[in-house]
Amino acid sequence: MGKSSKPIQPRYDVARRLNAILDAGEILLSKGYDAAQPQLIADIAGVSVGLFYRHFKNKQELLTAIMVRHLNKLHSQIAQDIQPELHPIEALHTVLRLTLQYFHQHQGLIKLFFMQIGYGDKTATEHLQRSRQTYRNLLLTIIERGVAQELFLPPPILDTELAINNIVGTINWSLYDLLVVQNGTFEPEAFAEKLAAHLLRSLTR
């Protein structure tokens, strides 16, 4: 008789457990920064608190990871919607509209990120770098199309890097002012149109 085979043990699903921590963290962070205690996050996620600390040093790192996950979802949506045949000006409108719709949907998380971490935190900047570059590349594609079709100003009159910084900076600081400074909210469609009109003045002929 041959040796009886042992049952195959299921592999340790790292991705599933990490996503469970992120999901639990977002649930608690939506109730307030102080509510998101690592032990409670671990309990809701069904993992040990040691596993939480294996992935994150603190709640700031957790919040940053949640932001990265959201940004990746947003960027995938934008990439699907700005196909090459889309008019560059309409493509810019689409980026602004999708960005503001998504940020409006998750404005509590965005506001919490601004207040607890911001964009000056070195660790957060490193973790967000790839997502930020993806967004910048999407904008670069649109600007290059607009220049090629002679809809936007030609280089060197139009500095591409400065144009991208203008778009990203306008979105970020406008949201910071609305959500944190004014403690208010915004209507995404109307705000996207307002930003588009402002930004296109610096891009078009």
The CATH number assigned to the domain holding 42 equals 1.10.10
Do residues 92 and 151 lie in contact, with contact meaning Cβ atoms separated by under 8 Å? no
pLDDT classification of 200: cutoffs 50, 70, 90: very high
Sign of CA dihedral 157, 160, 165, 166: positive
> Does residue 18 lie in a domain region?
yes
Residue 119 pLDDT level (bands cut at 50, 70, 90): low
Whether residues 97 and 40 share a domain: the answer is no
Does residue 3 sit within a domain?
A: no
Can you read off the two tokens belonging to residue 128? 């967000």
Q: Dump pLDDT digits (tens) for 158-183.
A: 999 999 999 999 999 999 999 999 99
Range of the domain at 145: 58-200
Secondary structure letter of residue 170 according to DSSP:
H
94-98, 126-130, 194-198, range with the lowest pLDDT: 126-130
Nearest Cα neighbor of 137 from 148, 127, 145 is: 145
pLDDT mean over 87-95: 97
Q: How far apart are CA 41 and CA 49, in angstroms?
A: 8
Q: How far apart are CA 17 and CA 41, in angstroms?
A: 12
User: Mean pLDDT lowest for which of 10-14, 135-139, 142-146?
Assistant: 10-14
Based on the domain organization, do 20 and 90 belong to the same domain? no
Decide if pLDDT at 4 tops 70: no
84 and 19 housed in the same domain:
no
- Name the domain boundary from 41, 56, 71: 56
Mean pLDDT value of segment 131-148? 96
- Within-domain flag for 194: yes
Encode burial over 143-169: b for 16+ CB neighbours within 10 A, e otherwise. Answer: bebbbeeebbbeeeebebeebbebbee
